[in-house]
Amino acid sequence: MIRVLSDTQLKLVFIYGPPAVGKLTVATELVKLTGFKLFDNHVSIDFVKSVFEFGTRRYWKLIEKYRLSMFNEAAKHGINTIFTFVYDKASDDPFVKKTIQTISREGGSVCFVRLFCDEEELARRVKGKGRREAGKVSTKRLLVSVLKRHGLGSEILFQTGLRIDTTRIPPKKSAMMIARHYKLLNGTRAAPADIVPGSFS
């Protein structure tokens, strides 16, 4: 598999979307294509939750500190990274902006990818056994609740990026779309036919 960047600029691929949309699955396929390191959203959550109660002010403060520290060290050492994230429209804009600043300070760029999916398909996927075992949102009732309460299907409006509807697009194709759009291999941007309608913000 080719793993050659078309330029030498450091990159953080920021994949975000609601629970069960396929962020980790797509990110894992992208790792296979690019050789980038994977920083899954739940790594930081599980790390901090092992000591601090979920949802407290201290908990969220440490989550942000841990993530930004990881981004900073990866950027300083020239490590291209893929990050998965559930974006809360009401509270996450400051973190997203700090992430951009952290990467930009080291001369890198953040490649935003929004994954979205039909709610009916999300409801089907969210019931997967692996999600329950991992402590993720795993019931339709909870999914509907968090989507409505936190706007977890929202788009980051102050940044442009690639948008992919994963309802029928398989993870491998989604990963290739990301790699080609952001020139993460072979230096070729995807042709219009390779991108689903409305896939650009």
Q: Please tell me the predicted confidence (pLDDT) of residue 9.
A: 84
| Bigger pLDDT: 140 vs 118 | 118
Alpha-carbon distance 169 to 192, whole Å? 15
Q: Please tell me the predicted confidence (pLDDT) of residue 45.
A: 86
What average pLDDT score do residues 103-122 get?
93
**Is 4 within the bounds of a domain?**
no
Please say if the pLDDT value at position 15 is more than 80: yes
Residue-by-residue DSSP string for the chain: -----SS---EEEEEE-STTSSHHHHHHHHHHHH--EEE-HHHHHHHHHTTS-TTSHHHHHHHHHHHHHHHHHHHHTT--EEEEE---TTT-HHHHHHHHHHHHHTT-EEEEEEEE--HHHHHHHTT-HHHHHTT---SHHHHHHHHHHH-TT---TTS--EEEETTTS-HHHHHHHHHHHTT-STT-PPPGGGS-TT-B-
Q: How many domains are contained in the chain?
A: 1
CATH of the domain at 98: 3.40.50.300
| Bigger pLDDT: 151 vs 4 | 151
C-alpha 52: how far from its chain's center? 24
Q: What is the pLDDT of residues 39-48, one digit of tens each?
A: 998 888 888 9
Confidence at 192, pLDDT banded by 50, 70, 90: very low
What average pLDDT score do residues 103-114 get?
96
Q: What is the pLDDT of residues 17-72, one digit of tens each?
A: 998 899 999 999 999 999 999 999 888 888 898 899 888 999 999 999 999 999 99
Q: Please tell me the predicted confidence (pLDDT) of residue 142.
A: 66
**Is 178 within the bounds of a domain?**
yes
Lowest mean pLDDT segment, chosen from 20-24, 77-81, 129-133, 182-186: 129-133
Range of the domain at 37: 11-194
Q: What is the identity of the amino acid at 181?
A: H
What average pLDDT score do residues 169-183 get?
96
| Bigger pLDDT: 80 vs 49 | 80
**Is 172 within the bounds of a domain?**
yes
**Is 89 within the bounds of a domain?**
yes
**Is 201 within the bounds of a domain?**
no
**Is 6 within the bounds of a domain?**
no
**Is 93 within the bounds of a domain?**
yes
What average pLDDT score do residues 143-170 get?
83
**Is 3 within the bounds of a domain?**
no
